[in-house]
Structure 1
Amino acid sequence: MSLDELRDRAALYALIAAGSVIGGCARYLVGVAQLSLLGTDFPWATLFVNVTGSFVIGFYAAIAGPDGRLFASSRQRQFVMTGICGGYTTFSGFSLETFQLLRTGHALAALINLGVSPMSWLVAVWLGHLVATRLNRLKGT
């Protein structure tokens, strides 16, 4: 690998890391808001970030894709989709929280979380893609 390729790769990693910081901080703030507003009876913050993160990644993939209205370089796509969305969404958190619900005897809440969360994420990705696809069809800039 040449020095230029190494620099280019390091710059991409730094960009993804910066996006992850943004996404991770946003995720933390949603968790803080959940605790103060809704308590700890259900993992609302995880559900919220995974739904909104799924919407954002679906929207951005379509709006900045090859047929999209917005041009985004590969680096920009990595920054948003891998960095921000990756730092923001919390599938590992989802797994742990569902396990904790089961472990503490809240089987119904765990089952609801297992059913509602993935379906919500898929619907959010679809909606994000749908909205961006419709925006892509609009005339003008």
Structure 2
Amino acid sequence: MTAPESLRVQTSAPPPPPWRAQTLVVTVVALGGGAGAAARYAASLWWPSAAGGFPWTTLWVNVAGCAVIGVFMVVITEIRAVHPLVRPFFGTGVLGGFTTFSTYAVDIRKLLETGHVGTGLAYLAATPLTALAAVWLGALSTRRLLGTTDTKGKESL
């Protein structure tokens, strides 16, 4: 004879609260973000942009980071399985900290406020266009180099 379901002793521990379950993910995102932001800051120190000039360093950091995002996403979604913390650490953390669309917005504002409207508008248009192109080219190049295809047998992108 067994006890009714409502009287049985629970033998497994209840699941942790949602915030505790995500603690490790938040930690690896923060560590990766710090590394990416430090790399971006180092780039701005090595290749400073002149006041009122086109912010080339920020543009190329964003383009390079977006190209790596394209490569990374193909590798982790189409080539090989990775540890569940790789994507939050590298994709969200490192590359999120490295690419800097907040600095992009501040650069535009500074250019417009200091009367460099043409440069500001060129930068406003160039950054998202080149960043999107970089993601697309990074993914396409990775697929071509590694010979991956989509589910229909045709090359993706």
Across the two proteins, how many residue pairs are aligned to each other? 134
1:81 maps to amino acid: G
- Residue in structure 2 matching 1:20, options 22, 25, 33: 33
Q: 3-state DSSP class of the match of 1:73? A: coil
CA drift at 1:8: 4.0
- Per the alignment, residue 124 of structure 2 pairs with 114
Summarize deviations over 1:110-141 as a string: whole Å, max 9, x none.
11101211111011001111122123327xxx
Pairing 1:7-86 to 2, within 5 Å after superposition: 7-35=20-48, 39-40=50-51, 41-65=53-77, 68-86=78-96
Q: Distance in 2 between matches of 1:73 and 1:136?
A: 21
Q: Distance in 2 between matches of 1:48 and 1:20?
A: 18
Contact 1:55-1:125 at 8 Å conserved across structures: yes
CA drift at 1:45: 1.7
Q: 3-state DSSP class of the match of 2:22? A: helix
Q: Distance in 1 between matches of 2:125 and 2:20?
A: 44
- Is the radius of gyration larger for structure 1 or structure 2? 2
TM-score relative to the length of structure 1: 0.85
- Per the alignment, residue 91 of structure 1 pairs with 101
CA drift at 1:7: 4.7
Which one has a larger percent helix, Structure 1 or Structure 2? 1
CA drift at 1:79: 1.0
RMSD: 1.9
Structure 1: which 5+ residue stretches go unaligned? none
Percentage identity across aligned positions? 34
Structure 2: which 5+ residue stretches go unaligned? 1-13, 149-157
Name which structure has the greater RCO, CA cutoff 8 Å, separation 6+.
1
Contact 1:57-1:85 at 8 Å conserved across structures: yes
CA drift at 1:43: 1.2
